[in-house]
Amino acid sequence: MTSSPLLPDRIAPALAANLTHITLDRAKLADFCQKHRIRKLSLFGSILRDDFEPDRSDVDFLVEFLPNATPGFFQLVDMEDQLSDLIGKKADLRTPKELSRYFRQEVLDEGVVQYEHATDKSHDQA
């Protein structure tokens, strides 16, 4: 995998190697995100680094919902289970508000977007 302009050079090689340990069907992921009214879903954490341990590490996702679509706790747990089944590995969903203020901006800056709602993409291109 070559480095994308969106990925810092130190992240791209680790991510390429680590993605071989999960199933990431883009169409199914998009269906999941649309069903749950997700605005943006990004990878973050050890999956982006060389300290990812395929047998022990979970996969961290940063999730941002469309307006008025934020689920409750039990719905979020159910979504984690569905996403875990989808990728074949334990998934953890975190919203930006759940992240510590000490590293929130770093996660937002370095997260690797896997899905973005179509209206958000069109705004980025304008």
Q: Interhelix angle for 73-87 vs 26-35, to 10°?
A: 170
Instruction: Report the predicted TM-score, pTM, of the whole model to 2 decimal places.
Output: 0.81
In the chain, domain spans: 12-119
Highest mean pLDDT among 14-23, 105-114, 116-125: 105-114
The yes-or-no verdict on residue 126 having pLDDT over 70 is: no
User: Which of 36, 27, 20, 116 is closest to 82 using CA atoms?
Assistant: 36
Mean pLDDT of the chain: 84
Q: How far is the C-alpha of 6 from the C-alpha of 37, rounded, in Å?
A: 24
Evaluate whether 61 touches 41 at the Cβ level (below 8 Å): yes
CATH number of 12-119: 3.30.460.10
User: Which of 4, 112, 95, 96 is closest to 48 using CA atoms?
Assistant: 112
